Amino acid sequence: MPVIEKLNIVVTGGAGFIGSHLCDRLVQKGHAVTCLDNLDTGRFDNVRPLLNHPNFRFVEADVRDPLSIDGPVDRIYNLACPASPPHYQRDPIGTVKTCVLGALHVLELARATGARVLQASTSEVYGDPEIHPQPESYRGAVNTTGPRACYDEGKRCAEALFFDYRRLYGVPVKVARIFNTYGPRMLENDGRVISNFVVQALRNRPITLYGDGSQTRSFCYVADLLDGLELLMESDDAITGPINLGNPREVTVEEIARMVLRQTGSRSPITYRPLPEDDPRRRRPEIAAAARALGWAPRVALEDGLKSTIDDFAMRVATPVSPASNSAEPPAGLTAAARPARKRRAALSAVGSSA
């Protein structure tokens, strides 16, 4: 990783699964970090240990509103958006607004401050791919009117905005297409493969497979992803992306279920349910561009990362927290938002996925 000076960094979605790990790492490296989050799917507990650090500031804010930050800004990581199907389908219009208005407001902040800005895009821009593995040149096979379109198309529009701001205003942009990522701090109720299987196994409940379990995914451990995001952010301005970041090891969903059962020692049976609409059949990144441009490749084996993830879930599942209370709320008076965040923590609808 290149050695750089102390930077003023904004992380939107910084109380979420990936964002909170990124905040931890950036603070540990000596940077001044402002974490923005509306705590819709982010958890305040994820960043609570950083609150007394002089280089960390938490602001409860929503990227759908215009953003203003006191002081200089050198880097912006835009990670703000619900990323699991049950969460982004719960409020599809809000998801589109978060993707599109959020990108617009982050780009305007970058334009006003001269900051470099990285967009956390997604492998979902490839839809249910007809090319395997998926290179960055593949334009995707997305159902533009389906239940996942709010997220898929929202992220595609955000990418377009990023490159238009680069062309029109010279804003230094980076776009990472993130594939399935896992690790400690995943939400128990996010509806994704690993979190679903681990929670069900730890509670000795039936493991739910959607479809016949033959659909494939590629899982990247969160620490490996952070390496890729930082390398992309600090790369030469000419390296804009989009660049795939993910682990090319491909496994079936059923293989993951059986791996979780072995590691947890659970006696949970496996049950099968119909595959949700537009659920991708195969997903695997082509990462040659990341290797060539960034010198990046994932290093954590799935078995090792899964053990750390299960250990984290085991501590939390023993004392489950409801989505409404969530221990996501910051204590009164702690936040410094210029405007209140929207409260949209309605109960989750029963939406399944093998994402």
338: in domain: no
What mean pLDDT comes out for the span 6-21? 98
114: in domain: yes
258: in domain: yes
User: In the chain, how many domains are there?
Assistant: 1
Phi, psi of 119 (to 5 degrees): -95, 125
> Any bridge partners for residue 245, and if so which?
178
Q: 320 preceded by cis ω (within 30°)? A: no
CATH of the domain at 14: 3.40.50.720
pLDDT at 317: 85
> Which residue range forms the structural domain that includes residue 312?
8-317
Confidence of residue 275 (pLDDT cuts 50, 70, 90): confident
Encoded tokens for 247: 């682990």
pLDDT at 331: 58
Confidence of residue 277 (pLDDT cuts 50, 70, 90): confident
Q: 133 preceded by cis ω (within 30°)? A: yes
In this structure, the strands spanning 207-210 and 181-182 are unpaired
174 vs 178: CA distance, rounded Å: 13
98 vs 104: CA distance, rounded Å: 10
Nearest CA-CA partner of 328 in 344, 350, 312, 313: 344
Confidence of residue 304 (pLDDT cuts 50, 70, 90): very high
201: in domain: yes
| Segments in the chain forming alpha helices (H) | 17-28, 44-47, 85-90, 92-113, 149-169, 193-202, 222-233, 253-264, 288-294, 302-317
Question: Average model confidence (pLDDT) for the chain?
Answer: 90
Confidence of residue 348 (pLDDT cuts 50, 70, 90): very low
Q: Please say if the pLDDT value at position 349 is more than 50.
A: no
In this structure, the strands spanning 207-210 and 270-273 are parallel
326 vs 270: CA distance, rounded Å: 28
pLDDT at 328: 55
Confidence of residue 342 (pLDDT cuts 50, 70, 90): very low
337: in domain: no
74: in domain: yes
Nearest CA-CA partner of 128 in 113, 146, 116: 146
1: in domain: no
222 vs 173: CA distance, rounded Å: 22
Q: Does residue 151 have an active-site annotation? A: yes
Q: Which of 151, 165, 182, 210 is catalytic?
A: 151
- One DSSP character per residue, 212-261 reads TS--EEE-EEHHHHHHHHHHHHTS-TT----EEES---EEEHHHHHHHHH
346 vs 102: CA distance, rounded Å: 21
Q: Please say if the pLDDT value at position 123 is more than 90.
A: yes
The continuous run of DSSP H or E covering 326 comes out as: none
| 330 vs 276: which has the higher pLDDT | 276
282 vs 133: CA distance, rounded Å: 8
Number of residues that this document lists for the chain:
355
User: Taking the model in full, what pTM does it have?
Assistant: 0.89
pLDDT at 344: 37
What mean pLDDT comes out for the span 70-89? 93
Whether the CB-CB separation of 47 and 15 falls below 8 Å is answered with: yes
Whether the CB-CB separation of 228 and 290 falls below 8 Å is answered with: yes
What mean pLDDT comes out for the span 210-234? 96
Which amino acid, 314? A
212: in domain: yes
Q: Please say if the pLDDT value at position 100 is more than 50.
A: yes
Q: Please say if the pLDDT value at position 4 is more than 80.
A: no
Encoded tokens for 307: 């053990």
